[in-house]
């Protein structure tokens, strides 16, 4: 199956390939503050389908993952923030040769809170009515809906106001996401549940969390797999965007890990 070409900014011509995926409502510009620190690698900053300068891709997470795996180098370190972490985790499961190692930032294998269901335990996450509300608002006012979601991402952070401003100024340098992409992304946040498959991730895995994150509670750490090649880092005063609010602390964990597994 062929897909339209995604917009990927590749910076650097040598060293380990690193793929970076952004979250819902934004685009790859949100990672521009990290570019200097990663200059010695070949970093592929991706606009997810329908976000930034990338065209829409019909379908669900499977089609997005297939398109990404077919257009990016194999044996890369994949770094995904929020929704991007869910997508990167699915790539690691479905296309293990693409992913040499995985980094998820403020992400979860299942974003929506779930009640206990038979043998499946309850799960902490975003309340279903919050995602329903965003979904309904998308049809009325796309830009305001995105802005509201950005505000939630910084809630709890020491520098919430400046964090929101920084994220907004970075992402507004590109076009707003398409309504289709935002709707697909919300569906993924509401419906995708990788918990039954998460043990299939055999690659080294760094998980970075914000202690004050109101969208992805750090208490889910105890329900996730653990091994010698899995590391959890909790950034104490960060919320949902630790690479924006605490870039030095974030990089102090990310860079040694890339050196170790790159």
Neighbours of 116 (CB within 10 A): 9
**Residues designated as active site:** 82, 213, 240
Other C-beta atoms within 10 Å of 27: how many? 25
d(CA 83, CA 47): 12
Backbone angles phi, psi at 4, to 5 degrees: -65, 150
Q: How far apart are CA 3 and CA 57, in angstroms?
A: 7
Write out the two tokens for 169. Answer: 């100024």
* Sign of the Cα pseudo-torsion (38, 104, 247, 244, in order): positive
Residues 54, 4: Cα–Cα separation, whole Å:
9
Please state, in angstroms and as integers, the Cα–Cα distance from residue 255 to each residue in 34, 139, 249, 259, following that order.
11, 41, 10, 6
Determine contact, residues 27/51, Cβ cutoff 8 Å.
yes
First to last CA, the chain: 30
């Amino acid at each position: 199956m062929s897909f339209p070409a995604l917009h990927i900014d590749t910076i650097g011509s040598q060293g380990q390939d690193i793929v970076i995926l952004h979250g819902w409502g934004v685009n790859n510009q949100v990672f521009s503050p990290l570019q200097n620190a990663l200059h010695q690698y070949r970093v592929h900053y991706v606009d997810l389908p329908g976000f930034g300068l990338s065209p829409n891709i019909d379908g669900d997470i499977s089609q997005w993952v297939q398109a990404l795996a077919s257009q990016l180098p194999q044996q890369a370190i994949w770094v995904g923030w929020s929704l991007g972490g869910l997508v990167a985790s699915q790539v690691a499961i479905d296309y293990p040769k693409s992913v040499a190692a995985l980094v998820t930032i403020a992400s979860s294998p299942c974003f929506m809170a779930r009640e206990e269901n038979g043998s499946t335990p309850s799960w902490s996450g975003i309340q279903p009515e919050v995602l329903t509300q965003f979904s309904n608002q998308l049809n009325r006012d796309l830009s305001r809906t995105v802005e509201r979601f950005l505000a939630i991402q910084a809630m709890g952070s020491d520098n919430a106001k400046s964090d929101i401003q920084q994220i907004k100024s970075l992402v507004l340098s590109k076009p707003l996401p398409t309504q289709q992409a935002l709707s697909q992304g919300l569906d993924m946040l509401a419906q995708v549940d990788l918990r039954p498959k998460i043990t299939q991730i055999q690659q080294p895995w760094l998980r970075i969390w914000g202690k004050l994150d109101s969208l992805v509670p750090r208490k889910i750490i105890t329900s996730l797999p653990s091994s010698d090649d899995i590391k959890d880092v909790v950034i104490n005063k960060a919320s949902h965007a630790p690479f924006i609010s605490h870039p030095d602390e974030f990089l102090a964990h990310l860079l040694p890990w890339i050196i170790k597994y790159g």
